[in-house]
Amino acid sequence: MKETVKKLAAYQAELPEEVVKAKYGLQHLARLSANESVYGPSPKVGEAVRAVSDDVLGYYPDGQATPLREAVADLTQVNPENLVFGVGADELIQLLTRTILTPESEMIVPDPTFGEYALHAEIEQAKTVKVPVNPADGHVDFEAMLAAITDQTTMIWLANPNNPTGVFEKTADIEAFLTKLPSTVTLVVDEAYYDFVDEPDATVAPLVSQYKNLVVLRTLSKAYGLANLRIGYGIMQDPLYTAMQAVRLPYNLSTYQIVGGTAAILDQDYLAKNVAAFQSERTKFQNFLRDEGLTFYESQANFIWIKVGETKKVGQALLQSGYQVNDRLNSEWIRIALGTPDDNEGLKEAFLAALKN
Query: Got the DSSP string for 263-307?
Result: HHHH-HHHHHHHHHHHHHHHHHHHHHHHHTT--BPPPSSSEEEEE
**pLDDT computed for residue 4 by the predictor:** 81
Mean pLDDT of 143-166: 98
Mean pLDDT of 91-105: 96
CATH number at 9-39+267-354? 3.90.1150.10
Q: How are beta strands 127-132 and 153-159 bridged, if at all? A: unpaired
Mean pLDDT of 202-228: 97
Read off the amino acid at residue 304: I
Q: How are beta strands 323-324 and 30-31 bridged, if at all? A: parallel
- Does 146 score more than 80 pLDDT? yes
Class of domain 43-266: alpha beta
**pLDDT computed for residue 133 by the predictor:** 98
**pLDDT computed for residue 307 by the predictor:** 98
With cut-offs at 50, 70 and 90, classify the pLDDT of residue 63: very high
Mean pLDDT of 62-90: 97
**pLDDT computed for residue 2 by the predictor:** 82
In angstroms, the first-to-last Cα distance of the chain is 46
Residue of 22, 14, 83 whose CA lies nearest to 326:
14
Question: CA-CA distance, 320 to 109, in Å (whole number)?
Answer: 35
Mean pLDDT of 193-206: 95
Task: Judge contact between 300 and 195, C-beta under 8 A.
Answer: no
Residue of 90, 85, 77, 41 whose CA lies nearest to 258:
85
Percent of the chain with pLDDT over 70: 100
Mean pLDDT of 278-297: 98
Percent of the chain with pLDDT over 90: 93
- Does 286 score more than 90 pLDDT? yes
Portions of the chain given CATH number 3.90.1150.10: 9-39+267-354
Question: CA-CA distance, 3 to 256, in Å (whole number)?
Answer: 38
Portions of the chain given CATH number 3.40.640.10: 43-266
Question: CA-CA distance, 294 to 288, in Å (whole number)?
Answer: 9
**pLDDT computed for residue 99 by the predictor:** 97
